[in-house]
């Protein structure tokens, strides 16, 4: 019979399907906002020419609010993981900051 490993003070409960789904949803919102912005800038001009004056609110204001909320949720989750697992002290992360943050210029 295998010995049961005692959880350490830094362990987290397993990241279940619900947590993974939240992470995937939030990543989807942030990435969709960031990478669709240039195309939406072009489309905005056409909409304004055709007198659709709520274009800015629909194309930019509301998606930006959702993306901001999603990135805050991701940051809080990352912070909790970092507190428990010290992710930011990992040799790879310390040696490759580009892997953690890269300014796309879109956001």
Q: Where along the chain do its domains lie?
A: 17-100
**pLDDT of res. 9:** 46
Residue with tokens 């970092």: 82
Higher pLDDT, 50 or 71: 71
Higher pLDDT, 47 or 70: 70
User: Does position 97 have pLDDT exceeding 90, yes or no?
Assistant: no
Q: Percentage of the chain with pLDDT > 70?
A: 71
**pLDDT of res. 14:** 57
User: Does position 70 have pLDDT exceeding 70, yes or no?
Assistant: yes
Q: How far apart are the first and last CA of the chain?
A: 54
Q: What is the pTM of this model?
A: 0.64
**pLDDT of res. 94:** 67
DSSP line for 25-84: HHHHHHHHHHHHHHHHHHHHHHHHHTT-TTHHIIIIIHHHHHHHHHHHHHHHHHHHHHHH
44 falls in which pLDDT band (50, 70, 90)?
confident
């Amino acid at each position: 019979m295998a010995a049961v490993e005692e959880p350490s003070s830094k362990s987290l409960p397993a990241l279940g399907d619900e947590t993974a789904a939240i992470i995937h949803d939030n990543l989807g919102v942030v990435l969709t906002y960031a990478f669709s912005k240039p195309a939406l800038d072009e489309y905005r001009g056409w909409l304004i020419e055709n007198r659709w004056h709520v274009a800015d609110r629909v194309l930019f204001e509301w998606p930006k609010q959702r993306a901001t909320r999603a990135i805050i949720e991701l940051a809080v989750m990352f912070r909790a993981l970092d507190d428990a697992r010290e992710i930011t002290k990992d040799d790879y992360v310390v040696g490759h900051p580009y892997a953690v943050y890269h300014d796309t210029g879109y956001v």
